[in-house]
Amino acid sequence: MSKGTNDLVDDLVAKLKRRQLVGSSTVAQATLKLLIVVISKNNWSKPNELLNLVKSVGQKLIEANPTELAVGNIVRRVLHVIREEYREAEAEKDANLNEFQPAPLTTSSSMYNLLGETGSASKDNVHYPSSLRSNIIQEIREIKDDLENIYDQIKNQASLHIHSNEIIMTIGRSKTVEEFLKMAASKRKFQVLVAESAPSYSGQEMALELSKAGIETTVIPDSAVFAVMSRVNKVILGTHAVLANGGLIAISGSHMMASAAKHHSIPVVVCTGLYKLSPLYPYDEDSFNVSMNPDSILGFEEGDLIEKVTVTNPYYDYVSPTLVDLFLTNQGGHPPSYLYRLIIENYDPNDQTFDLSTMAETLPKKQRA
């Protein structure tokens, strides 16, 4: 790897480690930007070379902050694009050679492969067209454009999902949800209840923003979620990440809100860009959680108390897929049961587990005050 790109990688790794860069969107964009540089500035000729290059950079970034799943998602997405490009190039060649090839279903993870031809021997000797490099970069740039327009693509569906005089509940602050609701407000009149999500109280900021946009907004403490749920028409949640089974890693309090909604049979809609969809499974509900500084729960003012008690301050909540009714992504609306398909389309199965061990092991444990 060239010196310049190495520095860039280290820089991003440092930022991730120090949590200077947080939030799926920022992290995803930074990762993509870096990968474009890495791919264009480095020398590679064979598919494996490039894949390994991207993988090694990805591995570093993921290890820097394993809870920012968007990093891994973007890396996998790029790997997938690279593989696709190579596959296309190979297919062209094969077509030229006109070999005997029963090429029915190309999805690599088909049952058919059990009996069919598998793992065409690594064609290291194949010469790839020179346009490949620019093609790959072109594809990745498309991902980047997608990423930048994600809010537009999601929010444009708003009027399809919100009717007049609805009461909508949400928790914490999510840029996606905020844009979504603001868009809806330009066409419909409705009310929003925002739970604060203590101790970050990001719901307050959300409420402020929404009220500035002219949406009738009410801040409720987290404790009132169940009480008012019965009059709510829809719960709209943002999320930090969507796992392969449709489970969410979302701001703490999301679980209780989703279960309260379930109890009252109120639909839960999750607004998310596809870059938050991760091919990983929630092996352990704590796997992707972060424990924050307990100071915001029990301040130093309570010095004597702090010594005697344990304070737990998880930043995220795991919401199981059974509590979610709909995902609104930049590709439209999907039920949780369809997510596996989106994963197959966006990621290569060979990449799903390339960093698994590191993901599972470096779990932050509860902090003791």
- Could you tell me the smallest distance in angstroms from the CB atom of residue 319 to other proteins? 8
Instruction: Note whether 218 binds other proteins by CB under 8 A.
Output: yes
User: Which of 12, 207, 274, 277: binder of other proteins (CB under 8 A)?
Assistant: 207
**Residue 66 DSSP one-character state:** T
Instruction: Note whether 362 binds other proteins by CB under 8 A.
Output: no
By CB under 8 A, the residues from 172 to 201 that bind other proteins are 191, 193, 196-201
What is the rounded distance in angstroms from the CA atom of residue 26 to the CA atom of residue 173?
15
Q: Which of 273, 319, 318 is nearest to 176 (CA)?
A: 273
What is the rounded distance in angstroms from the CA atom of residue 181 to the CA atom of residue 191?
10
By CB under 8 A, the residues from 232 to 271 that bind other proteins are 244-246, 251-253, 255-256, 259-260, 263
Instruction: Note whether 132 binds other proteins by CB under 8 A.
Output: no
Instruction: Note whether 281 binds other proteins by CB under 8 A.
Output: yes
Q: Which of 199, 205, 141, 200 is nearest to 177 (CA)?
A: 205
Diameter of the chain by CA atoms?
79
What is the rounded distance in angstroms from the CA atom of residue 171 to the CA atom of residue 255?
10
By CB under 8 A, the residues from 66 to 105 that bind other proteins are 102, 104-105
When the beta carbons of 200 and 330 are compared against other proteins, the nearer one is: 200
Q: Is the peptide bond before 321 cis (omega within 30 degrees of 0)?
A: no
User: Which of 226, 326, 364, 367: binder of other proteins (CB under 8 A)?
Assistant: 226
Q: Coil, helix or strand for 361?
A: helix
Instruction: Note whether 224 binds other proteins by CB under 8 A.
Output: yes
Instruction: Note whether 208 binds other proteins by CB under 8 A.
Output: yes
By CB under 8 A, the residues from 18 to 47 that bind other proteins are 18-23, 26
What residues contact 239, with CB distance under 8 A and at least 6 apart? Answer: 174, 248, 249, 250, 254, 270, 272, 276, 319
Instruction: Note whether 295 binds other proteins by CB under 8 A.
Output: yes
User: In this structure, are residues 319 and 262 in contact, taking their beta carbons and an 8 Å threshold?
Assistant: no
Number of residues engaging other proteins in binding (CB under 8 A): 98
Candidates 49-57, 147-155, 156-164, 292-300: pick the segment binding other proteins (CB under 8 A): 292-300
Distances (CA, A) of 240 to 44, 256, 320: 34, 16, 14
- Could you tell me the smallest distance in angstroms from the CB atom of residue 57 to other proteins? 21
Q: What phi and psi values does residue 329 have, to the nearest 5 degrees?
A: -115, 180
Instruction: Note whether 107 binds other proteins by CB under 8 A.
Output: yes
- Could you tell me the smallest distance in angstroms from the CB atom of residue 4 to other proteins? 22
Instruction: Note whether 337 binds other proteins by CB under 8 A.
Output: yes
Instruction: Note whether 217 binds other proteins by CB under 8 A.
Output: yes
Candidates 15-23, 134-142, 154-162, 269-277: pick the segment binding other proteins (CB under 8 A): 15-23
The pairing of beta strand 326-329 with beta strand 268-271: parallel
What is the rounded distance in angstroms from the CA atom of residue 28 to the CA atom of residue 34?
10
Instruction: Note whether 230 binds other proteins by CB under 8 A.
Output: yes
Instruction: Note whether 222 binds other proteins by CB under 8 A.
Output: yes
Q: Which of 158, 76, 148, 145 is nearest to 333 (CA)?
A: 158
- Could you tell me the smallest distance in angstroms from the CB atom of residue 21 to other proteins? 7
- Could you tell me the smallest distance in angstroms from the CB atom of residue 331 to other proteins? 17
Q: How many residues does the chain have?
A: 369
